[in-house]
Amino acid sequence: MMKVLILGGALNHEGADSTFAKLTSQTDDDFIFNRDDLTDEELAEVEVILGSAPGVLERIFSLPSSNLKWIQAFSAGVDYYPLEQLAKRKILLSNVSGIHAEPIAETVFGLILGQLRGIKAAVENQQHSSWKPDSSHYTVLSGKKLAVFGTGHIGTRVAELGRAFKMETIGVNHSGHRATGFEQTEAINELGPAVLNADVIVNTLPLTRKTHSLYDSAFFAKLTAAPLFISIGRGPSVVTEDLIKALNDGQVGAAGLDVTDPEPLPSDSPLWHMKNVTITPHVSGLYQEYVRDVVHIFKENLYQYKKDGTLARNEVDMKKGY
């Protein structure tokens, strides 16, 4: 009987209890739900982990021997896992890439419309019972240039919604290869006028060595249209101090941030008080059916893993980091 450990955030989402009850009834595996009193002997027997919790992997790696073979992440990004150690120990890692595309893309356009259609300002005015019909800064999306960094599931869905708004869509990826949903694409290290003159720039990239601090003062200095900058990838891809300066200097016209560096964003950060900045607390990918959809991926992989030791989908490339 295979031991499966369910950890951390996997248990904290709405609907988790009923979803996991159904899962455990469909297999004869031994499921262990996160407990503070797990012994070293119990951890040594765990073969599969779903989710994550501080210190658990460190404890497992410190044991004389371990049976751990596969980890199913509860997120698309896996930058918080020790990828080199997992690769060295030949432990499989899979993510839930794909399930976030719709909620995140919708959030992206919520942030865009909030700024460009004056909704953010209206909400702030409402707090003071203030009727201020100032539309001088309103604009429409039709005809605007939308540059999306990352042409995977999320970036593609953002582009699809952009095209529905009649925006011009430009995709940015590592090689500049063509991607579905984009009218043109550029390589991340060879950005041309189409990207640098974009009206809206959206970061959907995972955090890797190549994307860490990608959006810095040098990047912002190249922008020519004072764009709206949206970041829903990972916080450390943006140099926070440089973004603040770019906003103050007018290199960036406004920002919508679902991810920040650090997280949580400190209460004394200037970003909180900027009228042209909207902040959401890293929740753009969440929705009521999240656990259900994660477990669906996990079940597919679990059945395949029990069959031949491989994964059916979403296996992470340890070298690429996604």
**Mean pLDDT score of the chain:** 95
Examine residue 300 and state whether it is found in any structural domain, yes or no: yes
Q: Are residues 230 and 174 in the same domain?
A: yes
Q: Are residues 203 and 220 in the same domain?
A: yes
pLDDT band at 106 (very low <50, low <70, confident <90, very high): very high
Q: Are residues 20 and 107 in the same domain?
A: no
311 or 8: which carries more pLDDT confidence?
311
Which pLDDT belongs to residue 14? 67
Q: Quick one: average pLDDT of 98-108?
A: 98
Q: Are residues 119 and 233 in the same domain?
A: yes
pLDDT band at 54 (very low <50, low <70, confident <90, very high): confident
Determine phi and psi for 222, rounding to 5 degrees.
Answer: -80, -15
Examine residue 316 and state whether it is found in any structural domain, yes or no: no
Which pLDDT belongs to residue 268? 98
Which pLDDT belongs to residue 121? 93
Q: Are residues 132 and 238 in the same domain?
A: yes
- Least confident stretch, 13-27, 28-42, 85-99, 133-147: 13-27
Examine residue 314 and state whether it is found in any structural domain, yes or no: no
Examine residue 182 and state whether it is found in any structural domain, yes or no: yes
Burial tier of 250 (Cβ tally within 10 Å: 0-12, 13-18, 19+): exposed
Please check the confidence at residue 9 and state whether its pLDDT lies above 70.
no
Examine residue 321 and state whether it is found in any structural domain, yes or no: no
Contacts for 117-124: CB closer than 8 Å, 24+ residues apart: 120/275, 120/278, 121/275, 124/275
Q: Are residues 200 and 59 in the same domain?
A: no
Examine residue 186 and state whether it is found in any structural domain, yes or no: yes
Examine residue 315 and state whether it is found in any structural domain, yes or no: no
Closest CA to 66 of 87, 88, 89: 89
Q: Are residues 142 and 259 in the same domain?
A: yes
Which pLDDT belongs to residue 135? 87
- Using a pLDDT cut of 90, give the percent of the chain over it: 89
Determine phi and psi for 145, rounding to 5 degrees.
Answer: -90, 125
Q: Are residues 130 and 218 in the same domain?
A: yes
Please check the confidence at residue 8 and state whether its pLDDT lies above 90.
no
Examine residue 216 and state whether it is found in any structural domain, yes or no: yes
- Least confident stretch, 10-19, 192-201, 227-236: 10-19
Domain count, the chain: 2
Q: Distance between CA 119 and CA 74 in Å, rounded?
A: 33
Q: Please give the residue range of the domain that contains residue 20.
A: 3-98+289-308
Q: Distance between CA 132 and CA 7 in Å, rounded?
A: 49
Please check the confidence at residue 10 and state whether its pLDDT lies above 70.
no
Among candidate residues 279, 297, 317, the one where a domain is terminated = 279
Q: Are residues 25 and 142 in the same domain?
A: no
Q: Report the CATH number that the domain containing residue 9 is assigned in CATH.
A: 3.40.50.720
Q: Quick one: average pLDDT of 166-188?
A: 97
